[in-house]
Amino acid sequence: MDGKRILVTGGAGFIGSNLANHLAATNDVIAIDDEYLGTPENLREDVDYRNRSVLEDDLPTDVDVVFHLAALSSYAMHEEDPTTGARVNVEGFVNVVDQARQDGCETVVYASTSSIYGSRTEPSPVDMAVTVNTGYEASKLARERYGEYFANHYDMNVAGMRFFSVYQGYGGAEEHKGEYANVIAQFADDIANGEAPVLYGDGTQTRDFTHVLDIVRGLEVAADHELTGIYNLGTGDAYSFNTVVEMLNEELGTDIEPEYVENPIPDSVYVHDTCADSSSMREATGWEPRIDFEDGLQRVCAQYTDTDATTSSRQ
């Protein structure tokens, strides 16, 4: 993607900043963020950053492409305040897309979630039946329905991307998220500093961990191909939390045992296992993940292993 005028909402957040920084090399990129889950320190100087909320009027939507990544992105946030969760995730989405439509933008790519598949050890295809168990999942499924509305009623290109457990590590743009960062970032930082990583339950839960750079490529490709519909972005491989701790210990040259605690999230809504079937995305665009898990963990651990002292990025 070159020479485009692009808006990234949630652009100072983890995924949004990686996307904005990547695209800014060859495009005119505007990033907006209300800084609830983002920080402008994540962004390159050539990104036009603006502290704005997706609920505001007169947003800078006179662009060629909108990447809508702004969201309240955790179970806890929505259960504490379902109304605010719905406003940000649903009303904010409709507000941004409708302003973009009125400004003549025809291409929108937005973040959905793999959580709506529930717990599955088999790869989840996009056409399988889904069930909503949490406010977070409800808000993302509502986005998908509104995306379908804009595509069908206004003939826009609107693509929803269901992300699978996106990670990068505190050496990237995750550090500011703290307890909301992917578990890989948290586990790696704990182990590197001689602390026991805390695992819910017995650590047998599995995730399809997908490196953020593969997610960024998927988002860009979706816009380039002017996709419409719902697509998965994941690797098709899943690893247990116990295995992640073992691999991080090996990479860091440590031997730290995890601490197991009772899961604070009810079993009835906790997603124990995820795995992506990304075949529809591959068939539509040729996209495939390029960073395998071993390589990804090496990248996460590089900030600790490339220096003489494994000091914490949080200190």
- Both 218 and 250 in a single domain? no
Establish whether 4 is a catalytic residue: no
- Both 127 and 16 in a single domain? yes
Give the side-chain half-sphere CA count within 13 A for 156: 27
32: in domain: yes
Gyration radius of the chain over CA positions: 19
User: pLDDT confidence of 310, banded at 50, 70, 90?
Assistant: very low
Sign of the alpha-carbon dihedral angle for 243, 244, 247, 253: negative
227: in domain: yes
- Residue 311 scores a pLDDT above 60: no
Averaged pLDDT, 52-59? 98
225: in domain: yes
CATH number of the domain residue 48 falls in: 3.40.50.720
160: in domain: yes
- Both 183 and 121 in a single domain? no
Averaged pLDDT, 265-276? 92
CATH number of the domain residue 189 falls in: 3.90.25.10
244: in domain: yes
* Digit-coded pLDDT (tens) for 136-186: 999 999 999 999 999 999 999 999 999 999 999 999 999 988 888 999 999
Q: What is the pLDDT of residue 268?
A: 85
- Both 174 and 301 in a single domain? yes
* Digit-coded pLDDT (tens) for 234-255: 999 999 999 999 999 999 999 9
By C-alpha distance, which of 108, 116, 208 is closest to 165? 208
- The catalytic position among 167, 170, 177, 231 is 177
**What angle do the packed helices 293-305 and 241-252 form, to 10 degrees?**
50
- Both 125 and 89 in a single domain? yes
- Both 69 and 89 in a single domain? yes
- Both 223 and 249 in a single domain? no
Q: What is the pLDDT of residue 312?
A: 37
- Both 127 and 243 in a single domain? no
- Both 136 and 98 in a single domain? yes
Q: What is the pTM of this model?
A: 0.95
Averaged pLDDT, 227-237? 98
- The catalytic position among 49, 110, 117, 136 is 136
| CB contact at 8 A, 161 and 233 | yes
Residue 87: which domain range? 5-166+210-233
Distance of alpha carbon 33 from alpha carbon 119, whole angstroms: 31
Q: What is the pLDDT of residue 313?
A: 35
- Both 114 and 144 in a single domain? yes
- Residue 51 scores a pLDDT above 80: yes
Distance of alpha carbon 215 from alpha carbon 25, whole angstroms: 17
Establish whether 136 is a catalytic residue: yes
136: in domain: yes
Q: What is the pLDDT of residue 226?
A: 98
Q: What is the pLDDT of residue 183?
A: 96
285: in domain: no
Q: What's the number of domains the chain is made of?
A: 2
Q: What is the pLDDT of residue 306?
A: 80
* Digit-coded pLDDT (tens) for 8-44: 999 999 999 999 999 999 999 999 999 998 999 999 9
132: in domain: yes
- Both 176 and 301 in a single domain? yes
* Digit-coded pLDDT (tens) for 69-117: 999 988 888 888 999 999 999 999 999 999 999 999 999 999 999 999 9
**What angle do the packed helices 14-23 and 212-224 form, to 10 degrees?**
60
- Residue 52 scores a pLDDT above 50: yes
- Both 123 and 249 in a single domain? no
Q: Which residues are 7's β-sheet partners?
A: 30, 66
